[in-house]
């Protein structure tokens, strides 16, 4: 066979037989800095691929769409020496995630590679990154309190085992600090943390300050900083959720924390816009808003195994706008939300929880009538003060005009003191409830 014929065979013959049957191999036809286009590669969306680079390495990518006869892929490894006509092969492992007890105490990236320098991870089990579709009737009700270790949450916004909670705040108001308190105080068998789109400094700071050794041993951290490819940030959130799903399937009580859900939506926005999706509300394409329920709905309690995923998602309210599309989409699908107030943070009230605007949708099913009545009395005094704040601060309200307002003004310092808690302090559920009932007698 002549050299020209051999070259034509390599370029045109797309099917190669392997141990598992034919495998289709394509060629790289276009690259625009974010999106790769391959010919001769028919793979479903979400499938993995490997692209041979000009410097002899292999770059990983994922199928994200189609354009005519061409397959659209997005790189997972960032910048690489791509060349026209480069070989593109299927990667069967691209849609699976390594899971299991071997991950406990480890820190991995969006591709499951260790970041902690402790050597390879011997996880033999696999779980689909996109999760396994389940029967809605297998989802158990939320009926048991989940001790979060934060007095204001335990007493006023009681969380339940299997609940999904959004922590909404602007930048610098204390979302990560509150998450650290919850991690340290939570009663869970396994803690899975997804640090998505944060600064690299914050990742190392989180590991050093928020995960003490006793907590670190039962934790799994998936970290992808903000300077990584958008698809890698998206896969990190899916990987963290898949790891939590596996532990739930083993019958364990899991606490899942994603910081932040907004960065995940931003990553999907970059992918959607590059695929040509039309921008809708505030520049978000439909896929960015549709991603949130798909991700959040994977958490919850499993009635078959007895395991559960109690999930906390931080949501960044850009410009302190709680009507942001991502905030609205998250608030509509979760089982409760905690709004952090910048004005409270400026008064050095931490955690800066705005009790009147925060809500636990499952609290009525898991607390006693006496606890519910005490919490309602606290919220009533809080709301009365907030509604009349301007009149009170201007001096336009005269004492004696309304007994409820008078009581709200007098007891305001007590309410603020009840919210305050130092980052290293842990207050259990029973202690929190007793303190609330004593305060509201």
CATH number at residue 44: 2.40.10.170
Angle at which helices 369-387 and 429-439 cross, to 10°? 60
pLDDT single digits (tens) 96-110? 889 999 999 999 998
The structure tokens 């940030």 sit at 233
CA dihedral 95, 50, 265, 159 (to 10 degrees): 30
Residue 230 in any domain: the answer is: yes
Cα–Cα nearest to 245, from 118, 103, 119, 142: 103
Q: Which domain holds residue 272?
A: 96-369
Does a structural domain hold residue 436? no
Would the pLDDT of 306 be above 60?
A: yes
User: Residue 23: its pLDDT value, please?
Assistant: 63
In the predicted model, what is the mean pLDDT of the chain? 88
CA distance 392 to 411: 14
Query: Using one digit for the tens of pLDDT, what is the confidence trace for 213-269?
Result: 888 999 999 999 988 888 899 999 999 999 999 999 999 999 999 988 999 999 999
Tell me: pLDDT of 60 over 90. no
- Do 71 and 145 reside in the same domain of the chain? no
Q: 290 and 158: one domain?
A: yes
Number of domains in the chain: 2
Measured between alpha carbons, how far is 179 from 164 in angstroms, rounded to an integer?
14
**Does 404 reside within a domain?**
no
- pLDDT the model gives residue 18: 45
Section 26-39 average pLDDT: 88
Token pair listed for 55: 């410097």
What is the per-residue pLDDT for 1? 47
Looking at per-residue pLDDT, the higher value among 389 and 433 belongs to: 433
Which residues have CB under 8 Å from 230's CB, separation 6+?
A: 74, 266, 267, 268, 270, 271
Of 53, 75, 90, the last residue of a domain is 90
Per-residue pLDDT, averaged over 154-177, amounts to 91
E strand segments, 119-262:
125-128, 164-169, 190-196, 219-224, 253-259
User: Residue 68 and residue 58: Cα distance in Å, rounded?
Assistant: 26
Calculate what percentage of the chain has a pLDDT beyond 70: 94
Whether 57 contacts 92, CB under 8 Å = no
pLDDT reading at 19 higher than 70: no
Please check whether residues 64 and 126 belong to one and the same domain.
no
Local structure of 86: helix, strand or coil: coil
DSSP class of 276: T
pTM equals: 0.88
pLDDT in tens, 105-126: 999 998 889 999 889 888 779 9
Q: Compute the distance between CA of residue 39 and CA of residue 84 in angstroms, rounded to an integer.
A: 11
DSSP 341: P
pLDDT bracket for residue 3 (50, 70, 90) = very low
Assess whether pLDDT exceeds 70 at residue 411.
yes
Hey, how many other C-beta atoms are within 10 angstroms of the C-beta on 430? 11
């Amino acid at each position: 066979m002549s050299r020209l014929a051999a070259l034509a065979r390599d370029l045109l013959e797309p099917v190669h037989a392997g141990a598992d049957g034919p495998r289709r191999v394509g060629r790289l036809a276009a690259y625009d800095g974010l999106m790769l286009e391959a010919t001769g590669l028919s793979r479903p969306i979400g499938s993995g691929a490997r692209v041979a680079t000009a410097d002899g390495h292999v770059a990983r990518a994922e199928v994200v769409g189609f354009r005519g006869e061409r397959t659209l892929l997005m790189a997972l490894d960032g910048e690489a020496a791509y060349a026209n006509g480069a070989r593109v092969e299927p990667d069967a492992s691209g849609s699976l995630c390594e899971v299991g007890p071997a991950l406990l105490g480890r820190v991995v990236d969006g591709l499951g590679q260790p970041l902690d320098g402790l050597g390879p991870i011997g996880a033999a089990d696999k779980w689909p990154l996109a999760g396994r579709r389940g029967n809605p009737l297998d989802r158990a009700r939320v009926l048991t309190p989940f001790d979060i270790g934060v007095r204001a949450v335990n007493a006023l916004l009681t969380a339940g085992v299997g609940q999904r909670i959004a922590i909404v705040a602007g930048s610098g108001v204390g979302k990560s600090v509150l998450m650290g308190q919850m991690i340290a105080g939570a009663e869970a068998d396994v803690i899975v943390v997804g640090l998505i789109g944060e600064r690299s400094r914050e990742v190392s700071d989180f590991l050093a300050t928020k995960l003490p050794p006793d907590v670190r041993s039962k934790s799994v951290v998936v970290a992808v900083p903000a300077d990584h490819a958008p698809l890698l940030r998206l896969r990190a959130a899916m990987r963290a959720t898949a790891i939590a799903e596996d532990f739930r399937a083993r019958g364990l009580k899991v606490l899942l924390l994603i910081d932040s859900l907004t960065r995940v939506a931003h990553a999907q926005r970059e992918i959607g816009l590059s695929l040509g999706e039309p921008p809708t509300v505030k520049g978000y394409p439909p896929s960015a808003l549709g991603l949130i329920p798909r991700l959040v709905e994977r958490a919850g309690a499993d009635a078959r195994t007895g395991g559960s995923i109690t999930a906390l998602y931080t949501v960044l309210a850009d410009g302190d706008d709680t009507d942001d599309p991502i905030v609205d989409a998250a608030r509509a699908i979760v089982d409760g939300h905690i709004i952090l107030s910048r004005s409270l943070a400026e008064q050095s009230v931490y955690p800066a929880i705005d009790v009147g605007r925060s809500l636990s949708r499952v609290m009525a099913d898991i607390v006693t009538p006496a606890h519910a009545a005490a919490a309602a009395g606290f919220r009533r005094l809080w709301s009365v003060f907030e509604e009349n704040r301007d009149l009170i601060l201007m001096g336009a309200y005269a004492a004696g005009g309304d007994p409820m307002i008078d009581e709200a003004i007098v007891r305001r310092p007590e309410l603020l003191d009840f919210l305050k808690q130092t980052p290293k302090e842990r207050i259990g559920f029973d202690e929190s409830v007793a303190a609330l009932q004593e305060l509201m007698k």
